[in-house]
């Protein structure tokens, strides 16, 4: 199997998994067990999670970028032999 056909197969599987989990597989749950108020509650939770996730990942990226910019000072090593 070539690497491009493997990439295509894996991409298709990820697409099907994401589409099913986000919409098709959860649709019976949303329509049968949730009331109108519950739709609002789940939407608010989704919004807060998205905002918090964005803040947390931005902080991690910023910390990684800062860590990459910081250079350690070389330690001074005495070249003379101990007496």
- What does the H/E/C string look like for the chain? CCHHHHHHHHHHHHHHHHHHHHHHCCHHHHHHHCCHHHHHHHHHHHHHHHHHHHHHHHHHHHHHHHHHHCCCCCCCCCCCCCC
54 vs 75 pLDDT, higher one: 54
Here the tokens at position 80 are: 């003379």
Average pLDDT over residues 34-52: 87
pTM: 0.44
Mean pLDDT of all residues belonging to the chain: 76
Asked whether the predicted pLDDT for residue 5 surpasses 60, the reply is: yes
Please give the pLDDT value at position 18: 76
53 vs 24 pLDDT, higher one: 53
Asked whether the predicted pLDDT for residue 39 surpasses 70, the reply is: yes
């Amino acid at each position: 199997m070539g690497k491009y056909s493997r990439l295509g197969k894996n991409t298709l599987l990820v697409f099907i998994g994401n589409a099913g989990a986000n919409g098709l597989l959860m649709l019976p749950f949303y329509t049968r067990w949730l009331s109108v108020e519950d739709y609002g509650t789940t939407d608010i939770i989704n919004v807060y999670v998205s905002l918090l996730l964005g803040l947390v990942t931005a902080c991690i990226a910023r910390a990684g970028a800062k860590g990459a910019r910081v250079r350690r000072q070389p330690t001074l090593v005495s070249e003379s032999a101990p007496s």
